[in-house]
Amino acid sequence: MPIAPATALLLLFLAGPIGYCVWIAFTNTQLTGSSSSDFVGFANFRRAFADDNFRNAVQLTLAFTFLSSIVGQNTLGLALAGLMRAASRPVRTVTGALVITAWVLPEIVAAFLLYAFFRREGTLNAILDQLHLPSQNWLFTLPILAVSFANVWRGTAFSMLIYSAALAEIPQDITEAAEVDGASGPRRLWHITLPMIRRSIGTNLMLNTLSTLSVFGLIWAMTRGGPGNRSQTLPVFMYDQAFVNSLIGYGTAVALLLLLVGSLFSIVYLRLMKVEV
Amino acid sequence: MRPTAPLILAAAVTVLTAGSLTACSSGSGSDPDTVKVAYNRSTDNKIRFKDAYLESVKKQFEKEHPGKKIKLIPIQAADNDYATKVQQMMRSPKTAPDLVYEDTFRINSDIKAGYLRPLDAYLAKWDTWSQFVDTAKAAAKAEDGKTYGVPDGTDTRGLWYNKKIFAKAGLPADWQPKNWEEVLDAARAVKKKVPGVIPLNVYTGKAPGEAAVMQGFEMLLYGTGDDPLYDPGAKKWVAGGQGFRDALGFVGTVYGEKLGPDPSDALDPNVGTHVATEWFPEGKLAISLDGSWMGQNWINEGPKAWPEWKTELGQTPMPTQNGQAPGKVSMSGGWTWAIPQKAKNADLAWEFVKTMQTPQNAAKWDVVGAQIAVREDVAKDPTYLKSMPGIDFFTGLVQYTHYRPALPVYPQVSTAIGEAMEKVTTGDGSPESAAKEYDEQLKTLVDGAVVTK
């Protein structure tokens, strides 16, 4: 069996930790304060569903994912890809380089850049002051919007690349035929371009959503989930429970619930797009 | 569609989420002649007095014990993160240090988790132990009656105020507020007469962590009556206390009337650094409810040299709520050296503790660390007594001081308090509703074992 070594490695390095995580989620393991670790059945999950802060985290996670991934990165990525096809080479190069730079920056660097941009004495407020517009402390008043924007800024490049490749695949003659038939720009987009890159849209949405669901460093560095819990998405909530409140079992249970949210999104996309993977 | 796709995806998400919860760190191999010492390094790159002190003791130790080595493992992180990191290190013999610096407020929790070993056998053969004052000895004593840590200093807390700003606001240079209202009135006077200055800083919220809970909340709470947090007689935590609501009310008043820093600054994890290196030295802050160690920020080799602090700043005790006896309130904490259960070189680690606790080294630490002495001999040491203006004032507060409930669940209770404070500070909730929520959380934490006061 040539596949045996690979299977063994997978079991050891992947299934082992995953199985251990699932097990921990059903215990009351703590990082400190108690040395015992007992099986408690679904207590952690019951606790999560009764926890207002968990509900708040789910809502914020959905808002964050919808705003920054589905609307932001996805649409902006498609728009950029489309515009860049029509642009001249230097413009294309410069735009592409800028967008991709934001993407390849380490998360923590990007987070500090955006923290500096949004903070009260930050760049954004300086610009607003110049324009005589009212400034405010964005990280404090609209934290979830600020981190969503940050995630769009950082993650759009990925969508742009996927869509650039997809648009390049569309045969020229179809587009030209539509133009000859007098189809306007929006109609061409709706009836020709979008259906033809349907699979790419599905794939991109799925990858984007999954990576956005697990964004931690960006939010942690910008707001720490605060003020209060107004930007405490599930990964931050999970960290707080596991490492700040030392409730490893509960934190892991939340991690599994986050996994569930991710799976739900994936199933929806697979159904909607009927993508053949 | 191939059915494997969802599986692959599920696995991918699992790895993403699982990966974030199974942090692993590579253990440095242990060597029987090397003591690994884990301690917290300040996140402020200008503050390195602890590192310098430990380096000097390391040199001395290595000279006195030829062939033996000390490996210092500085962990540069906020207090919460430092504790988490060390707890993870102590879980495995591969990564466990031989000696670890433990905050007294977490030590009971770590003892209960089985991370530390009792030191009684060592202490029994150590003459110096008799020099330690009883409260300090009790700080690292667990419910099982054994001692798990050697304290190296303590601290007290009170009000620091800027006399220059006070003069502008028409307030006395020798300020002695008798109750909470007088503290607030002084802040209101500053707000009215000295615009652009933050009248009163009270640490608050989740981000500053224990600093907010202890310097901010408990300094208020323990001025409202006896045992407002934990009832030692009933061995139960206190829920639904009026004192708790009043203390939250005070925080609410400070931030609601805009007497404090802007909430976004107050909830910044680095607010402590801002107070010490910017707001006080730059004359932007009138009063801060703060710790005895503040002076160490402004000495010559400190992070922000500010020689004028000795004359510009005054210190006064925090009054009780309505001036009820004893009239003054302070909280004390401190840090201890402890030996992990899974340490490989416990005996050698103990030798290093003894070197750190020679009278000269113990006094030196209390001086450079701006600590309040926990040993009789050090407390009489003239270099210690002359080391810092205000040290006699803060040492004098020891008689009014309170210690946090030394119980394993305390860190979790502290987190719940931080959340209640944050709600009140941001205006997301009233003191009443935040206190209610705390009561609920408390019952969950201690399995309903609460008394109502």
Segment B193-232, tens digit of pLDDT: 999 999 999 999 988 889 999 999 999 999 999 999 999 8
Task: Spell out the alpha helix ranges (H) of B259-390.
Answer: 263-266, 271-274, 309-312, 346-356, 359-368, 376-379, 382-385
Q: Cβ of B14 and A32 within 8 Å?
A: no
Q: How far, in Å, CA of B14 to CA of A256, rounded?
A: 8
Residue B14 reports pLDDT greater than 60: no
Angle between helical axes of A107-118 and A123-130 (0-180°, round to 10): 30
pLDDT reported for residue A176: 86
DSSP codes joined into one string, B381-415: -HHHHTSSTTHHHHHHGGGGEEE----TTHHHHHH
Q: What is the pLDDT of residue B299?
A: 83
A259–B5 C-beta distance less than 8 A: no
User: Is B266 exposed, middle or buried, given 0-12, 13-18 or 19+ CB atoms closer than 10 A?
Assistant: buried
Strands B335-338 and B99-103: antiparallel
Query: What is the residue whose two structure tokens read 């003659």?
Result: A173
Residue in chain B nearest A31 by alpha carbon: B87
Position B29 scores a pLDDT of: 59
Contacts of B263 in chain A (CB under 8 A): 140, 227
On the question of pLDDT at B15 being above 50, the answer is no
* Probe site for chain A from B15, B17, B92 (most A CB atoms < 10 A): B17
Residue positions counted in chain B = 453
Residue B422: predicted pLDDT: 93
Give tens-digit pLDDT for B95-105: 999 999 999 98
Asked if B211 contacts B288 with a C-beta cutoff of 8 angstroms, the reply is: no
pLDDT band at A224 (very low <50, low <70, confident <90, very high): confident
- For B279-321, where are the E strands, in sequence order? 285-291, 313-316, 318-319
The one-character DSSP state at B78 is -
Neighbouring C-beta atoms of residue A70, cutoff 10 Å: 15
pLDDT on residue A1: 67
Q: Which residues of A touch B83 (CB under 8 A)?
A: 32
Q: Where are the beta strands (DSSP E) in B27-171?
A: 34-41, 69-76, 99-103, 150-151, 157-162
Q: Give the closest-approach CA distance of B201 to chain A in angstroms.
A: 18
- Is the pLDDT at B3 greater than 60? The verdict is no
Choose among A228, A235, A246: nearest Cβ to B412: A246
pLDDT at A141: 86
Cα nearest neighbour of B5 on chain A? A277
Q: How far apart are alpha carbons A181 and A173 in whole angstroms?
A: 12
B3, B182, B236, B320, B393 from B287: Cα distances, Å: 66, 12, 35, 17, 17
Which residues are within 8 A (CB) of A71 and not within 5 positions of it... i.e. 6 or more apart? none
CA dist B421 → A184, B204, B239 (Å): 58, 6, 16
Give the separation between CA A216 and CA A237, rounded to whole angstroms. 10
Over chain A, what HEC string results? CCCHHHHHHHHHHHHHHHHHHHHHHCECCCCCCCCCCCECCCHHHHHHHCCHHHHHHHHHHHHHHHHHHHHHHHHHHHHHHHHHHHCCHHHHHHHHHHHHHHHHCCHHHHHHHHHHHHCCCCHHHHHHHHCCCCCCCHHHHCHHHHHHHHHHHHHHHHHHHHHHHHHHHCCHHHHHHHHHCCCCHHHHHHHHHHHHCHHHHHHHHHHHHHHHHCCCHHHHHHCCCCCCCCCCCHHHHHHHHHHHCCCHHHHHHHHHHHHHHHHHHHHHHHHHHCCCC
Phi, psi values for residue B320, rounded to 5°:
-75, 170
Contacts of A33 in chain B (CB under 8 A): 109, 112-113, 408-409, 411-412
Distance from CA of B434 to the nearest CA of A (A): 12
Q: Which of A11, A23, A29, A32 is best to mutate for the B interface (most B CBs within 10 A)? A: A32
Mean confidence (pLDDT) of chain A:
90
CA distance A36 to A238: 21
How close, in Å, is residue A36 to chain B by CA atoms? Answer: 8
Tens of pLDDT, residue by residue over B406-446, are: 888 898 899 999 999 999 999 989 999 999 999 999 998 88
Kindly report the nearest CA distance between residue A30 and chain B, in angstroms.
8
Residue B226 CA to residue A104 CA, distance in Å, equals 57
Largest CA distance in chain A: 75
Q: Which residue of B has its CA nearest to A30?
A: B113
Is there a contact between B17 and A259 if contact means CB atoms under 8 Å apart?
yes
Give the gap in angstroms from C-alpha B99 to the nearest C-alpha of chain A.
18
How distant is the Cα of B18 from the closest Cα of chain A, in angstroms? Answer: 7
Residue type, A72: G
The closest CB to that of A139, out of B17, B83, B264, belongs to B264
pLDDT surpassing 80 at residue B69: yes
Mean pLDDT of B58-70: 96
- Comparing CB atoms, the residue among B2, B22, B264 nearest residue A227 is B264
Q: B192: Cβ–Cβ under 8 A, 6 or more apart, which residues?
A: B169
- Taking every pair of Cα atoms in chain B, the longest distance, rounded to a whole number of angstroms, is 82
Measuring CA to CA, how many Å separate A240 from each of A194, A228, B206, B303, B391? 41, 13, 11, 31, 37
Locate the chain B residue with the closest alpha carbon to A250. B21
Give the closest residue to B436 by CA, choosing from B422, B453, B420.
B420
Q: How far apart are CA B407 and CA B442, in angstroms?
A: 14
The mean pLDDT value for A122-129 works out to: 90
Question: Are A18 and B408 an interchain contact pair (Cβ–Cβ within 8 Å)?
Answer: no
CB B405 within 8 A of CB B213: no
Nearest CA in chain B to A13: B15
A254: nearest CA partner in chain B: B17
Distance CA B58, CA B353 (A): 11
Looking at the predicted structure, is the pLDDT value of residue A27 above 50?
A: yes
Q: Which residues in chain B have their CB less than 8 angstroms from residue A19's CB?
A: none
Tokens of A59: 């809502």
Q: What is the mean pLDDT of residues B59-82?
A: 94
B75: β partners = B40
Which residues in B lie closer than 8 A to residue A226 (C-beta atoms)? Answer: 205-207, 267, 422
% of chain A surpassing 70 pLDDT: 99
Strand B69-76 to B34-41 pairing? parallel
Q: Is A222 in contact with A147 (CB distance < 8 Å)? A: yes
- Closest-approach residue (CA) in chain A for B429: A228
Residues of chain B with Cβ-Cβ distance to A217 below 8 Å are none
